[in-house]
Amino acid sequence: MALFRRRRSSDSTAAIAAFWDAWPSLRGPLAEAASSETPIPEEVAERVTALVRAIHPELDWEVGPAPSRPEGIEDLDLSMDVDPGKLLEQLAALDAPGKLETPEHALTLRPGASDDARIQSERWSRSAPTDDTWAFLPVRPADHGRLSGSVRWDDHELDLSHVAVSLRVDQASRRIDVGVYHPDNMFLSEETRRGLAEHVVLLALGEDDVVRWVGQVTTLDESPLDPLSATAIPAAVRQMIDFLGGSNDGWVTLSGTNLRKEQLVFTARHPLTRRDFPAFTLAVHVTVPYTGKDGEGQPDETSAAAMQELDNRVERTLGDNGALFLKSTLSGISERLYYLDPDSGVLPEFEEAFKGWSEGTVKLRSQLDPERMVFGLKLRPHRRFFQG
C-alpha cells in the first residue's frame, strides 16, 4: 500500500501541500486519540488547527469514526455525473464487501457557511493521500444512524430518538425553517438547546445541505402539532425543490421558437448552488457546430447520434474532474458550458476530446470563475423560468 501517495499531481495552495507534508507525523497521535476516545494532545491539536487555518481562516476540523460505505443498491449514486470507475467500485463492494473496507477514522474539515472555505476544503480532500485507515472529508456528512442514539451535550445525556421537528417552507428565501423539540428542552439552557437543535439538523442533512436549504433553526418548548422525525427533513427538502420549480434529475429544459421558426432548446442544472461541485472553478465555454438539421434547426438523427457520442466521450474524459452545467442548441450551433477542476490537469485531455469533430470547427474559451458569473450570465435571459 502506498500510504502517502498523492492522488493529484499538485495541490491548489502551498498550505494544502504543507498539510499533507505534515500528515505522516500527525496520523499516529490522531488515530490513537480517536481509537481510545481520549482528547487529542494539545500540541497536536494546535498544530492541526494552524495547518487547517492556513488553508482557509474559516475552516475548522474534527476527528471521528468514518462513515459507512453504501449498503444497498438504493444507496448507489446513479446520476449522469458519477464517475463510472467509482460506480463499478461500489457495485463490486455490494458483492464482495471485503474489497472496499470502511476506513476506521475520518478527519473532517468544517467550512461552515463560507463558500470560499468550502472550495479549499474540497481541494484539500481531493489531494489527500491514499490511506486505508482514514477517510478525509471536506465537509461533515449526514449521519442518520446517530439520530437514533444518545449524545452528551454540555454535561447532559440526551436521547436523540425523542426529537421531533416542525418544518416550514419560506418561498421568499427558498429555504426551510426548522423547529426542533426535545422533551428535555425545559431543563436546558438556551445556548444548549440551540446547539442541540443545530446538531440535529446537521446530522439529518449534512453540512452542505444545511447551507443550501436551511434558513432558521429554532428550539421548541412544546412538541409540534404535526411532529416529524429528524430523518424526515431530507424528504421535505426534496419536496421543496420540486415545489419551487426544481426537477428530480437536477436539470431543467426550456424550448421556444424564434421569428424564423427555428427552435431553441436550453438545458441547465437547476437548482444549483455554490456547494455543488465546489472544486470546479474553471469555466469552459464550448461551441460545437452541426450540419445535419431538421425542419426546426435542431440536430437531425445523424447529427444527434454524433453529438451524443461526443458527449459520452467528453463525460468519460472528465470523470470526477469536471461537469456540464448548461447546453443550448439553435440553428446549427450547440453551445455548452462546462466547469472543471483547474488543479486536476484535465483541461488538455478535455480539449483533445473535441478534436476530430467532423461537422465543423469546435471553439473553446476558458476562464477562472470561482463565483460562477459566466453561468449566471448565461442563465439570466431565462431566469424567470427558473423562478430565481
Q: What pTM did the predictor assign?
A: 0.81
Q: Is the pLDDT of residue 53 over 60?
A: yes
**Structure confidence at residue 297 (pLDDT):** 92
Q: Do 257 and 236 belong to one domain? A: no
Lowest mean pLDDT among 117-126, 185-194, 345-354, 373-382: 373-382
In a domain, 80, yes or no: no
* One-letter amino acid of 176: I
10 or 366: which carries more pLDDT confidence?
Answer: 366
Let me know if residue 88 belongs to a domain: no
From the list 266, 232, 233, 268, the residue with the least C-alpha distance to 247 is 268
Q: Is residue 175 part of a domain?
A: yes
Strand pairing partners for 166? 179
Q: Which of 55-69, 160-174, 197-211, 240-254 has the lowest mean pLDDT?
A: 240-254
Percent of all residues in the chain with a pLDDT value above 70, rounded to a whole number? 85
Q: What is the pLDDT of residue 247?
A: 54
Residue 87 inside a domain? The answer is no
Could you say which of 91, 117, 137 is where a domain stops?
137
How far, in Å, CA of 240 to CA of 243, rounded?
A: 5
Instruction: For helices 42-55 and 115-126, give the axis angle rounded to 10 degrees.
Output: 110
The verdict on 258 and 378 lying in the same domain is yes
C-alpha cell at 265: 432548446
pLDDT at 244: 65
Query: pLDDT-derived band of residue 68, with 50, 70 and 90 as boundaries?
Result: low
Q: Angle of helix 233-243 relative to helix 190-205, nearest 10 degrees?
A: 70
Q: b/e string for 326-365 if b means 16 or more Cβ within 10 A?
A: bbbbbebebbbbbbbbbbbebbeebeebbeeeebeebeee
Q: State which residues form the domain around 319.
A: 251-382
The average pLDDT across 366-385 equals 87
Which of these ranges, 38-47, 192-201, 246-255, 341-350, has the smallest mean pLDDT?
Answer: 246-255
Higher pLDDT, 215 or 258: 215
How confident is the model at residue 334, as a pLDDT? 97
Q: Is the domain of 219 the same as that of 285?
A: no
338 is a domain residue: yes
Q: What is the pLDDT of residues 282-297, one digit of tens each?
A: 999 999 999 999 989 9
Angle between helices 14-36 and 115-126 (to 10 degrees): 80
pLDDT of 96 higher than 50: no
- Check whether 87 has a pLDDT greater than 60: no
Q: Are residues 227 and 259 in the same domain?
A: no
Q: Band of the pLDDT at 250, cuts 50, 70, 90? A: confident
pLDDT interval class at 337 (50, 70, 90)? very high
User: Grid coordinates representing 194?
Assistant: 440551540
Q: Is residue 90 part of a domain?
A: no
Question: Average pLDDT for residues 229-252, to the nearest whole number?
Answer: 80
Quickly list DSSP for 79-123: STTS-HHHHHHHHHHHH-GGGGPPPSEEEEEE-TT-HHHHHHHHH
- How many Cα neighbours within 13 Å face the side chain of 322? 30
Q: Same structural domain for residues 156 and 206? A: yes
Same domain, 60 and 165: no
Residue 2 domain flag: no
Residues 34, 49 share a domain: yes
Q: What is the predicted pLDDT for the residue at 383?
A: 64
Q: Which pLDDT value is given to residue 12?
A: 55
Helical H segments across 135-245, by residue range: 190-205, 207-213, 233-243
Q: Summarize the confidence of residues 309-329 as an average pLDDT.
A: 96
Using DSSP's 3-state secondary structure scheme, residue 65 falls into strand
Predicted confidence band at 220 (pLDDT cuts at 50, 70, 90)? very high
pLDDT for the residue 380:
84
Q: Same domain for 239 and 256?
A: no
- Residue 251's SS3 state is strand
Nearest partner of 15 among 142, 89, 98, 119, judged by Cα: 119
Residue 70's pLDDT is what?
A: 43
Q: Is the peptide bond before 103 cis (omega within 30 degrees of 0)?
A: no
* Res. 231: pLDDT tops 90: yes
SS3 225: coil
Which pLDDT does position 69 carry in this prediction? 54
Cell 423539540, residue? 181
Q: Does residue 116 sit in the same domain as residue 156?
A: no
Taking only the tens place, the pLDDT of each residue in 116-161 is 999 999 999 999 999 999 999 999 999 999 999 999 888 889 999 9
Number of domains in the chain: 3
Does 210 lie in the same domain as 194? yes
Query: Does residue 99 register a pLDDT over 60?
Result: no
pLDDT at 16: 96
DSSP state of 340: E
Gyration radius of the chain's alpha carbons: 24
Nearest Cα residue to 216 out of 173, 154, 272, 276: 173
pLDDT for position 88:
52
**Same domain flag for 189 and 162:** yes
- Residue 314's CATH number: 3.30.70
Helices (H), 287-386: 301-318, 347-353, 373-379
Single residue among 191, 213, 243 that ends a domain in this structure: 243
Q: Is residue 316 part of a domain?
A: yes
Q: What is the mean pLDDT of residues 23-34?
A: 96
| Domain's final residue, options 210, 243, 276 | 243
Domain shared by 49 and 168, yes or no:
no
Is the predicted pLDDT of residue 114 greater than 70, yes or no?
Answer: yes
